[in-house]
Structure 1
Amino acid sequence: MWRKFKRLFIIKTKFEAFLIVYALATGAVARGQDYLVQYPGFGGKLLFLACTGAVFMAGAKMIEAIDYHRTYGQDY
């Protein structure tokens, strides 16, 4: 039973990874907009870019990991 429960939290396909990246990006943009209000000017823009940039890096690593597991046959 715990094995089935654990499988719910494993990203198995690229589609699942893209859904997670979309959710992370939505949150990052909301946080970035708050930063633009709290820190007007160049500092707020840098924080906005940092929030969205982190999502791009995390998404790339997730997709890369899915390709790696598919190529080398890692069993979940």
Structure 2
Amino acid sequence: MFRRIKRLFVIKTRFEACLIIYALATGAMQRGKAYLVQYPGYGGWLLCLACTGAVFMAGAMIFDALALKRAAESAGAPPPEPAMP
């Protein structure tokens, strides 16, 4: 039962990754707009840019993880397990 629920939270395709990155970007821009209101001037703009930069880095990591998983599956090796803290 838990295995079926766990599969819902695994990113399997690039399309799913793009949907998740879009959701991250939407939230980051909302946070960036709040920073512009809360901190007018250069400080707000810098924090807004930091929010968008975080989405770019997270998106790159998601795409890299998908490529690594696909390469491991094509080589016949078991896919790497995510590190659990």
TM-score range, shorter chain: over 0.9
Task: Please give the secondary structure, in 2, of the residue aligned with 1:56.
Answer: helix
Question: What corresponds to 1:42 in structure 2?
Answer: 42
Which stretches in structure 1 are left out of the alignment for 5+ residues? none
Question: What corresponds to 1:64 in structure 2?
Answer: 64
Give the TM-score taking structure 2 as reference length: 0.85
Deviation of 1:72 after TM superposition, in Å, equals 1.0
Question: What corresponds to 2:18 in structure 1?
Answer: 18
Opposite residue 29 of structure 1, the aligned amino acid is M
Deviation of 1:17 after TM superposition, in Å, equals 0.5
- The alignment-based identity, stated in percent, is 63
Moved over 4 A (4+): none
Q: Could you tell me how far apart the structure 2 residues matched to 1:56 and 1:75 are?
A: 23
- CA 1:68/1:48 → structure 2, altered by over 3 Å: closer, same or farther? same
Which stretches in structure 2 are left out of the alignment for 5+ residues? 74-78
Q: Report the structure, 1 or 2, having the larger helix content.
A: 1
Give RMSD over aligned pairs: 1.3
Give the TM-score taking structure 1 as reference length: 0.94
Q: Could you tell me how far apart the structure 2 residues matched to 1:75 and 1:53 are?
A: 27
Deviation of 1:75 after TM superposition, in Å, equals 7.4
